[in-house]
Structure 1
Amino acid sequence: MSDKIVLHDYWRSSSAYRVRIALNLLGLTYERRPVDLVAGEHRSASHLGANPQGLVPVLEIDGLRLTQSLAIIEYLDETRDAGFLPATPAARAEARALAHAIAMEIQPVCNLRVARHAADLGGTATMEGWMTHFIPLGLHGVEGLLSRQPDTAFCHGDRPGLADLCLVPQVYNARRWGVDLSPFPRLAAIATRAEALPAFAAAHPDRVRPQG
């Protein structure tokens, strides 16, 4: 069994961004194998062999090929004692709810292929209009969930965890589309604190985007 860890990702993918952060927080060395979604490389036979869904990320680790970012992060948490989730079942449920509010509510509807399809249908829909409608709608819910939690440095405690790994890429996308974050002071402050950490900074799309 090879000890090499390989991450198949796209530099701007929120899902891949989450996994890069997780690997960096654990101090794991990994090889990135970019999959250019814009060029359609995710539909190639070789990538479909790695992930029949034709999505990123795919993480090769421990002789496995893992897909779906939250499943990957929880695998890393369970096998590397990462502490990405709190200790008690109730706190874990709350942390997962925050993560799912982003990864299963905001991201799917704002996925590039979904937004592009909506814009291509014609009518008044545009990519920008789609994003600036659905991203704030989802962030209002996240801010509300955070307001029910103790006022801690990160989403669920004094160290970054699962929800923070989802929040930072979503905030990146919000800024990219010009979404005003002032209505969401709690989540914006948490994201700013997390982004300052080396593991988060090293995973930022601008740090891993292809050159040239």
Structure 2
Amino acid sequence: MNTNLTLLTALLLAPLQAAERSPIQITDHTVVFTHTSTDPKDPANTSGYNLGPGITVLPDGRLMAAWFSSPTEGAESQRIVQAFSSDQGRSWGEASVLQDIAGKADFDPVLFVAGKETFLFFSSFNPQIDIYYRRSGGWGTPGDAEAKKEGLPDVQLYDLGKDIGETTNVQSTFPDVVARMTKILEQQIADGRSTPGAKQTNDAAIVVMKANKKAAQE
């Protein structure tokens, strides 16, 4: 059994009211992601189970696909992954993790773009089924793991008004903005919330910057 995640790009060719023929013709057939083993049900194959794909057009014109992946349905390691295409879905970049609540199964991603912001809605067992959302001016690459390998700065700051594709990191140009945003984040962590209201306790210890981890433990 070979389970691939496949995207079918369709083109409307006739009015919907034309009942004598299908108004949709398949123009491209593309494999977005192939799992990493010959046996999709092998527990060691962490990406053997792939389901729930969704797709959207990002503000910069790229296609973004997201789906949930795990060894088996509902596994604790089940996470939501993403891939991007810059040629209208004819080819896709390497998949990377988009959302993963440690020890919980994340599933059913839904992508929605409004203006310059991209929203991700998803479900997770925590411990019951809850619905979450994330928002961003645009998810892109590299992710944390890739950035570390490439020796990139820990902080990434982009001017989304001029660079919606997030191609130029301006953190060194605007240290005052980085400092201001970091202070806001630290206050939200101290308050246990980002919305108005009484202080709350965080579920776990949070370190804003990896460089501060040693100091936070002392």
Same fold (TM over 0.5): no
Greater per-residue strand proportion: 2
Higher relative contact order (Cα pairs below 8 Å, separated by 6+ residues) = 1
Larger Rg: 2
Normalised to the residue count of structure 2, the TM-score between the two structures is 0.28
Normalised to the residue count of structure 1, the TM-score between the two structures is 0.29
